Each structure stands twice: as structure tokens, then as C-alpha cells.
């Protein structure tokens, strides 16, 4: 029997990266599908989610095929670089730096998200998606049988439109409309109480400028690649700042902190607090002393981490940040967009083609919370305890990066048709790696606390340039990165254990 008629085959709630990507992928090869994207804003403002990692780069270039736009209109990213200091007065020449020596091998980008999301949404419309904008999905009545879902949509100009659809894709981002409506939205505030403030600045002095290199000659040494187009992080105990260059000449800068380990000093405004914090780090001062903030572009989020208990049901599915989010430290947000959008599009297409999709639904509802937990415990749980200690962070960086390249990055390049439909850290190998990562993460947290107690936290935050011995590539050479990381970690175990107690030194 034919299903009851509906206005659309698919309505996508939210037209930013996740929603536009889903729309485009649905219409490609299936021009007959009736897809409507509903986007609340008249135009996108500048978002976070600007720095991409390698899984995201693979998705953007090999699944969405955006290489031409990305090469011409956005910056190529050249790795993650971290800067450690002992005091705000330190010279940039004395700081410990961790980051790549050469330019990156795989495509990764610094995205002006307003520009990119607008471009992607236009492509989705060019492929034939309908667009209601600015318009908000206000009321959702989900069907529990074979009849269509009903949505009430309010366009900005006024009035309400009732729309029926076979499928609903929730791409509403942090608003997480469906998860909240269904009561399956969970904040992770208790185990990850993080906050962020950010802004975009102009007139920033880049790290490769003549001025910077004349003031600090060490910036001409050691690193062969460009530091400007890296994602530069300033690191301290309990906090880190990102500095991301954007193709319009501005820089995105923000601070994220874990409220258990650090309190951002008060100030008259959010912007003043962010600026004061940037100026308290030698690299921040070098870059932002004469920087001019973009007016009206300062944002604040409290409690960044959350997740949905399940992400799909009777002809509805969540994608991207509508499913959940963990932490921006390693720029993994778009990795999750990639996997969830791919999996959702596959599910919807199969279902609309009349195939039984029960197995996929069961898999996604089992795999998402599991993957969130494994990834979170492996990479972020209590991590802010040690991110300000260069030696401990070097161990984590090598191990985390090695595991990322052996696992998620290698797999999406080598077996894309299968891997994109799965969630990361799937299967026995993923579980094994996840557990190992959670183990060394816990050890590093313990070492950081011991180091604070013994007065030796940050002991190597001066005078080191730690560049991994090879450029990162998605093959087993990443095992060598992990091996290097294990050596740094074991050395940190020994030096921390052997260090005298503070009382013995006094």
C-alpha cells in the first residue's frame, strides 16, 4: 500500500552546514525527491566551527566536493600549534611550542563559516532543494504510524504555514529542537563544566610578519611551514585560547575554560575579559596588542557539552550539533557533522526507496551515545587539568593525533562507503583504542595533579620546540607518533614520581 501523501519527502530544520550538506546529498542523484530546508536566519552570522580537522577535510572535499570553493575562498589550515609559557612576562622566544614543522599533507581548512554555510546552502538549492528563509519551525507533531509528520512554520514576514512531510531531519544545531522536545537531551555540565567567549578581530599581527620575526628571531627558526595559517592555541591550566585566521583578513579568537580548574577574571564586558586574557599570554600580546574587535561580534556560551540519548526514530533523524557536542579543543565538531549527515542521508534514502531500515535505526541509536562516551572519555574527560603543562600535553598530542590518524582519518580515506555510515570508534578495534586513550588520559590527569602538588607543573613550558618527527598521514606511520607519545608519557610518569615533595625541598 502506498503511504499517505505528504507535501514533502524530507523537511530539514536548519540550513547551516549540517542542514545544507544533508539537503545537497539527498538531492544528488535523486532529483525527484521533494526536499525543503527551513532556516531561521535571513543570513548567517559568523559562527564558531572555523577550524577543520582531517576527517572534516575529507568530508568537505571528497563527499561534498567543495575543493574549488575551499581552495579559492578559504584558508588552507596548516595544523594545530600550541604555545606554553611560565609567566605573562615571558619572551615569545623562550616559550615552548608544539606543532608541525611542515605544511599539512591532507586538506584541512580555516572556514569563514558565514561565507561557507551560505555557499553550501546555495549549492543545495541549486541541486533542487526548496528553501523557506527566514522562517522558523515552531511546532512539530511527529507521527507514530505511517502518516506524515506535521510542522508549523512561521516565516519572518508573518503568518503560519502548516507543512506535512514523510521525513524530518533536525539540523538545528545547539538549539537541538527535537532532542529537547522528546526529552532525550542531556547536558554534560556535571562532568565537563566548560564556558567559552569569542570574538573576531582585525589589525592582528600575524606570527610570520616581519614585525613578529624581528622582535623574536626564534620565529624564523625550527619551523619550515607557516605559523599564521595554523590554528594557534595558547595554553594554560584549565583553559586554552584559539586563534584562527580567516580569509577576509580577520582572526577569530576565543577562550574556553573548565570552571573546575580556572576562573576567567571578571571585567566590565565579555569582550574586555577576553582581551585581557589574550594580553596575559606572550603570543596573545604579540598578536592582539593593536587588534580591533568587530563590533557586535562577541559571544558567550556556558556548558558546551551535551548529547542526545537517541538520534533517530519513526522517520525523523538528528544531524550535526542537534545530536550533541563535546569540546572544541581538537576541532572535531565537523567530524561529527560528517558522520551523522552521511548516516542520516543513507537512512532516509533507503527508507524512501521502500527498504526496511530498522537495523540502521537500531544501530544509530546504539552507536551515537556509545561513540560520544568513548570519544569523550578518551579525549576530553578532565583534560583541562593537564593542558597547561607542555610535557603532558605533548604526550597527549602525539598519542591523540596518532590514534586519530590510525583510526578515524585512515578509515574514511581507505573505506569511505562503509566508514561514513558508521560512527567513529565503532567495533572492537575502536573500543580497544578508546579504552587505551581513556587510560592514558586518566594517567595524565593524575600526573598533572601530582605536579601541581609537588610544585613542578609546567616545568618544561620554556625553551622547547616539539615538532612531531613526520608529517601526519593516514597510514600506519601514525603508530610511530603513538610510540613517541608513549615515550614522552612514560618519562613524565618517572620524573613526576621521582620529584621530591615540596616539603622535602623546603
Ligand X SMILES: Cc1cc2nc3c(=O)[nH]c(=O)nc-3n(C[C@H](O)[C@H](O)[C@H](O)COP(=O)(O)OP(=O)(O)OC[C@H]3O[C@@H](n4cnc5c(N)ncnc54)[C@H](O)[C@@H]3O)c2cc1C
Summarize as ranges the residues that interact with ligand X (CB under 6 A): 13-19, 38-41, 47-52, 56, 136-137, 171-175, 177, 196, 254, 301, 304, 320-321, 328, 331-334, 337
How many whole angstroms separate alpha carbon 430 and alpha carbon 451? 31
CB of 151 to ligand X, least distance (A): 9
Which 3 state secondary structure label does DSSP give 289? coil
| Residue 84 · residue 461 · CB < 8 Å | yes
| Residue 420 · residue 338 · CB < 8 Å | yes
Kindly report the backbone phi and psi dihedral angles of residue 41, in degrees, each rounded to the nearest multiple of 5, phi listed first.
-90, 150
Query: Quick one: which of 320, 13, 286 has its CA closest to 149?
Result: 13
Nearer to ligand X, 288 or 440 (CB): 288
- The gap between the terminal CA atoms of the chain, to the nearest Å, is 84
Per-residue b or e along 434-457, where b marks 16 or more CB atoms closer than 10 Å to that residue's CB = beebbebbebbbebbebbbebebb
| Residue 201 · residue 210 · CB < 8 Å | no
CB of 223 to ligand X, least distance (A): 21
CB of 83 to ligand X, least distance (A): 17
Query: Quick one: which of 210, 211, 291 has its CA closest to 253?
Result: 291
CB of 310 to ligand X, least distance (A): 17
CA distances from 457 to 233, 239, 390 (A): 19, 15, 9
CB of 40 to ligand X, least distance (A): 4
Neighbouring residues of 57: CB distance < 8 A, sequence distance ≥ 6: 106, 107, 108, 109
Nearer to ligand X, 200 or 454 (CB): 200
Nearer to ligand X, 171 or 488 (CB): 171
CB of 66 to ligand X, least distance (A): 15
CA atoms within a 13 Å half-sphere pointing along the CA-CB vector of 256: 21
Closest-CB residue for ligand X?
A: 173
CB of 216 to ligand X, least distance (A): 26
| Residue 483 · residue 401 · CB < 8 Å | no
Nearer to ligand X, 368 or 440 (CB): 368
Nearer to ligand X, 197 or 398 (CB): 197
Nearer to ligand X, 27 or 40 (CB): 40
How many whole angstroms separate alpha carbon 23 and alpha carbon 18? 9
Rounded to the nearest 5 degrees, what angle is found at the Cα of 179, between the Cα atoms of 176 and 184?
140
| Residue 267 · residue 273 · CB < 8 Å | yes
Nearer to ligand X, 18 or 421 (CB): 18
CB of 50 to ligand X, least distance (A): 5
DSSP H or E run through 312: strand 312-313
CB of 478 to ligand X, least distance (A): 20
Nearer to ligand X, 19 or 388 (CB): 19
Rounded to the nearest 10 degrees, how much is the dihedral formed by the CA atoms of 427, 176, 301, 66?
A: 70
Q: With DSSP H G I counted as helix, E B as strand and the rest as coil, what are the percentages for the chain, rounded to 5? A: 40, 20, 40
CB of 111 to ligand X, least distance (A): 8
Kindly report the backbone phi and psi dihedral angles of residue 379, in degrees, each rounded to the nearest multiple of 5, phi listed first.
-110, -30
Nearer to ligand X, 41 or 449 (CB): 41
Nearer to ligand X, 304 or 395 (CB): 304
Nearer to ligand X, 14 or 293 (CB): 14
Query: Quick one: which of 179, 107, 103 has its CA closest to 372?
Result: 179
- Diameter of the chain by CA atoms? 84
CB of 20 to ligand X, least distance (A): 8
Nearer to ligand X, 323 or 456 (CB): 323
CB of 48 to ligand X, least distance (A): 3
* Beta partners for residue 466, in sequence order: 98
Query: Quick one: which of 287, 256, 274 has its CA closest to 199?
Result: 274
- Other Cβ atoms closer than 10 A to 329: 19
CB of 338 to ligand X, least distance (A): 9
Nearer to ligand X, 337 or 344 (CB): 337
- Other Cβ atoms closer than 10 A to 492: 23
Amino acid at each position: 500500500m502506498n503511504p499517505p501523501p505528504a507535501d514533502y519527502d524530507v523537511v530539514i530544520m536548519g540550513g547551516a552546514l549540517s542542514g545544507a550538506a544533508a539537503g545537497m546529498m539527498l538531492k544528488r542523484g535523486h532529483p525527484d525527491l521533494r526536499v525543503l530546508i527551513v532556516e531561521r536566519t535571513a543570513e548567517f552570522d559568523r559562527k564558531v566551527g572555523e577550524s577543520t580537522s582531517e576527517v572534516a577535510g575529507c568530508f568537505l572535499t571528497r563527499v561534498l566536493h567543495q575543493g574549488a570553493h575551499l581552495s579559492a575562498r578559504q584558508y588552507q589550515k596548516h595544523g594545530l600549534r600550541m604555545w606554553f609559557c611560565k609567566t605573562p612576562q615571558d619572551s615569545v622566544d623562550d616559550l615552548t611550542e608544539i606543532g608541525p614543522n611542515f605544511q599539512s599533507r591532507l586538506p584541512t581548512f580555516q572556514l569563514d563559516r558565514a561565507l561557507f554555510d551560505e555557499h553550501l546552502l546555495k549549492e543545495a538549492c541549486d541541486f533542487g532543494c526548496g528553501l523557506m528563509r527566514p522562517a522558523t519551525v515552531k511546532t512539530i507533531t511527529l507521527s507514530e504510524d505511517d502518516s506524515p509528520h506535521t510542522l508549523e512554520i512561521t516565516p519572518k514576514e508573518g503568518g503560519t504555514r502548516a507543512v506535512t512531510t514523510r521525513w524530518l531531519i533536525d539540523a538545528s544545531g545547539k538549539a537541538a529542537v527535537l532532542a529537547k522536545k522528546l526529552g532525550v537531551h542531556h547536558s554534560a555540565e556535571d562532568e565537563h563544566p566548560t564556558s567559552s567567549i569569542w570574538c573576531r578581530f582585525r589589525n592582528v599581527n600575524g606570527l610570520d610578519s616581519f614585525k613578529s620575526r624581528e622582535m623574536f628571531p626564534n620565529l624564523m627558526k625550527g619551523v619550515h611551514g607557516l605559523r599564521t595559517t595554523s590554528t594557534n592555541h595558547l595554553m594554560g591550566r584549565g583553559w586554552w585560547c584559539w586563534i584562527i585566521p580567516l580569509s577576509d583578513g580577520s582572526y577569530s579568537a576565543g577562550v574556553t575554560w573548565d570552571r573546575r580548574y580556572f576562573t576567567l577574571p571578571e571585567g566590565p564586558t565579555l569582550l574586555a575579559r577576553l582581551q585581557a586574557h589574550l594580553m596575559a599570554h606572550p603570543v596573545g600580546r604579540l598578536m592582539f596588542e593593536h587588534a580591533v574587535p568587530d563590533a557586535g561580534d562577541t559571544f558567550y556560551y556556558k556548558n558546551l557539552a551535551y548529547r542526545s540519548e537517541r538520534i533517530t526514530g519513526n522517520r525523523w533523524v538528528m544531524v550535526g550539533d542537534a545530536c550533541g557536542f563535546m569540546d572544541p579543543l581538537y576541532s572535531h565538531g565537523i567530524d561529527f557533522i560528517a558522520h551523522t549527515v552521511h548516516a542520516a542521508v543513507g537512512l532516509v534514502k533507503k527508507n524512501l526507496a521502500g527498504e526496511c531500515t530498522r537495523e540502521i535505526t537500531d544501530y544509530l541509536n546504539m552507536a551515537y551515545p556509545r561513540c560520544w562516551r568513548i570519544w569523550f572519555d578518551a579525549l576530553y574527560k578532565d583534560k583541562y587539568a593537564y593542558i597547561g603543562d607542555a610535557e603532558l600535553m605533548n604526550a597527549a598530542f602525539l598519542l591523540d593525533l596518532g590514534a586519530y590518524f590510525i583510526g578515524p582519518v585512515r578509515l574514511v580515506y581507505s573505506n569511505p562507503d562503509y566508514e561514513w555510515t558508521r560512527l567513529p570508534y565503532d567495533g572492537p578495534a575502536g573500543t580497544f583504542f578508546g579504552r587505551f586513550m581513556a587510560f592514558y588520559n586518566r594517567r595524565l590527569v593524575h600526573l598533572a595533579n601530582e605536579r601541581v602538588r609537588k610544585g613542578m607543573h609546567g616545568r618544561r613550558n620554556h625553551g622547547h620546540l616539539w615538532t612531531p618527527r613526520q608529517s601526519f598521514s593516514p597510514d600506519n606511520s601514525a603508530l610511530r607518533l603513538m610510540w613517541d607519545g608513549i615515550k614522552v608519557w612514560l618519562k613524565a610518569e618517572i620524573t613526576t614520581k621521582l620529584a621530591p615533595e615540596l616539603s622535602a625541598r623546603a
